[in-house]
Chain A
Amino acid sequence: METINYQNFRIEAENICVDYNGKVALYDANLRLQPGQICGLVGMNGAGKTTFFNALTGFVNISKGKIRINGESLRSAQKDQTIAYVPQNEGIDSQFPISVWDVVMMGRYGSMNIFRCPRESDVQAVKDAIERVDLTDHLSTPIGNLSGGQRKRTFLARAIAQRASILLLDEPFSGVDIRTEKLISELFIQFKNEGKTILLSTHDMIHVREFCDLVLLINKTVVAYGETSEVFTPENITTTFGGISPDFLFGPES
């Protein structure tokens, strides 16, 4: 029997199940990702994409299965700041009285002392991260005054400041301007070259073809998983979306 070296995998999710008060949201889901891989998570609304993210961040407990991050437990991955989560724009309270700087600084909280006093290195990390997403002019802008794209970049900067090696992004391209879309695409290529592992959910099939090495199609469980070129077929997509033909989804073009 082949022995698996868990160290080779950044993310190793094995037969995970999540239920909310007896209602099954995700079952028998598997995923293995290596450093430098970008994987697209595709499924309908309510197919369990956000649940999958919640399980990988530890925000919900899995009722069955196993999650290993770099061969270690989720708990130690949390402690090591290994995983960063970039929420959907709808997933956050945009009226919260907080500035860009403060949000990005939250990326450093996990590695600070109990009072969360920023050290010089934290300040530098935050500055660098904000510069990478091109928001240096908006350091003290309240997030409520930002555009959708700028807000998305703020949360991306938080993930950069955290220096996480795994990035989970919920709909990174929804509701953003062209400039942000271009900037995020460039960052993805940089992240890949830095050896980061990226899992992103998206509705946009073109983005999957463009960036994703791998694709994970889910509908409460894994419908198909593998190299984008092999798995991202009209048949699989139709199954994932409950029988709706891909023509309808992407237009007759593709």
Chain B
Amino acid sequence: MELCSFLTLDSFITDPLTHDFMRKALLMSSLVAAVCGFLSSYLTLKGWALMGDAVSHSVMPGVVVAYALGLPFSLGAFIFGVGSVALIGFIKQKSRVKEDTVIGLVFTGFFALGIVLVSKIKSNIDLHSILFGSPLGISLSDVKQTIFISLLVVILLSIFRKDLMLYCFDPRHAKTVGINVFFLHYLLLTCLSLAAVVGLQSVGIILVVAMLITPGATAYLLTDKFDNMTVISVLSAIISSLIGIYVSFWFDLETGGSIVLAQTFIFLFAFLFAPRYGIFKLKKLFAGYK
């Protein structure tokens, strides 16, 4: 990678596209970003950031066990993701320990179990790619799984888009008019587990929670309409993924970290300059020039 090769923007963008693994990485990461971004609107409004962190860490032993048994790793991840939430609910109900403490101790327990299992099973599991993601080394079977899960989540979220919005906004009203709140709760949890599973391929288990909350938080600062929030969230997630992958390609950086860092910078930009809710309120600055 010579420095002169990306002196023009054109070659900066097109050169990586000549590599098959880069095309695949860009496509798959965009898809994953879109799914996580879509879900992100709901999670940030529902206040489920910590829950997202818990589920995404808890899938670790599931991934390891599934690899060891030769099963699709998404299946193992899903079981442990939902299992962790059930366990959190159970411990919270049966003890006097506060919820955030329960969440913290359950997901670290699951995560530790995963790490111990990896060291014991000693198969060809690449711990590094689970922890930090490996969008550049994604296999064909992983591609198929990712596409399948992503489509499933997008379809579910699209069908129950308005119900989930109502559930996040006013679950009591939902219940009063006969909408199945129990179902919506578990639907959102299921989508969260599935999104964590596909998200971990891009950025790894440790950072996947960023994919699930940062785009939503960015969008929340930029709009007062729920539909716009979803669109902005999805777009900012996709753009961050593309930027992250390009930057990691040219400067030889960790891809997952680059993607998340790109999201963080977009959030900071919104935090400072969002027209209504930013610190500097860009609208007012422009108005001053007139």
Contacts of A145 in B (CB 8 A): 224
Does A84 count as interface, using CB distance less than 8 angstroms? yes
Question: Measured between alpha carbons, how far is A45 from B229 in the docked complex, in Å?
Answer: 37
Partner of B172, one of A54, A79, A97: A54
Contact status A58-B175, CB under 8 Å: yes
- B-side interface size class: 20 to 34
The dominant DSSP class at the A interface is mixed
Contact status A106-B176, CB under 8 Å: no
**Which residue of chain A lies nearest to B172 when distances are taken between CB atoms in the complex?**
A59
- How many residues from A make CB contacts under 8 Å with B? 35
Contact status A59-B169, CB under 8 Å: no
Contact status B226-A83, CB under 8 Å: no
Contact status A58-B169, CB under 8 Å: no
Least CB distance, A140 to chain B, in whole angstroms: 9
Contacts of B80 in A (CB 8 A): none
Does A238 count as interface, using CB distance less than 8 angstroms? no
Contact status A78-B176, CB under 8 Å: yes
Contacts of A111 in B (CB 8 A): 177
Beyond A59-B171, A96-B169, 16 additional contacts (C-beta under 8 Å) are A58-B175, A59-B172, A59-B176, A78-B178, A79-B178, A87-B170, A87-B173, A91-B172, A93-B45, A97-B45, A97-B223, A97-B226, A102-B226, A107-B177, A114-B159, A115-B159
Does A148 count as interface, using CB distance less than 8 angstroms? no
Does A158 count as interface, using CB distance less than 8 angstroms? yes
Question: Which B residues lie at the A interface, using CB under 8 A?
Answer: 45, 93, 159, 162-163, 165-166, 168-179, 220, 223-226, 228-229
Contact status B179-A110, CB under 8 Å: yes
A97 with B178: in contact, given A85-B173, A106-B166 (CB under 8 Å)?
Answer: no
Most interface-central of B163, B169, B174, B225 (chain A CB within 10 A): B169
Most interface-central of B168, B173, B176, B225 (chain A CB within 10 A): B176
Contact status A109-B224, CB under 8 Å: no
A142 with B175: in contact, given A92-B169, A115-B162 (CB under 8 Å)?
Answer: no
Does A81 count as interface, using CB distance less than 8 angstroms? yes
Contacts of B226 in A (CB 8 A): 96-98, 102
Contacts of B159 in A (CB 8 A): 114-115
**Which residue of chain A lies nearest to B226 when distances are taken between CB atoms in the complex?**
A97
**Which residue of chain A lies nearest to B219 when distances are taken between CB atoms in the complex?**
A97
Contacts of A107 in B (CB 8 A): 177
5 closest Cβ pairs, A-B complex = A110-B177, A78-B178, A142-B224, A116-B162, A57-B176
Contacts of B224 in A (CB 8 A): 97, 99, 142, 144-145
Contacts of A84 in B (CB 8 A): 176
Partner of B175, one of A59, A91, A96, A144: A59
Partner of A87, one of B45, B165, B172, B225: B172
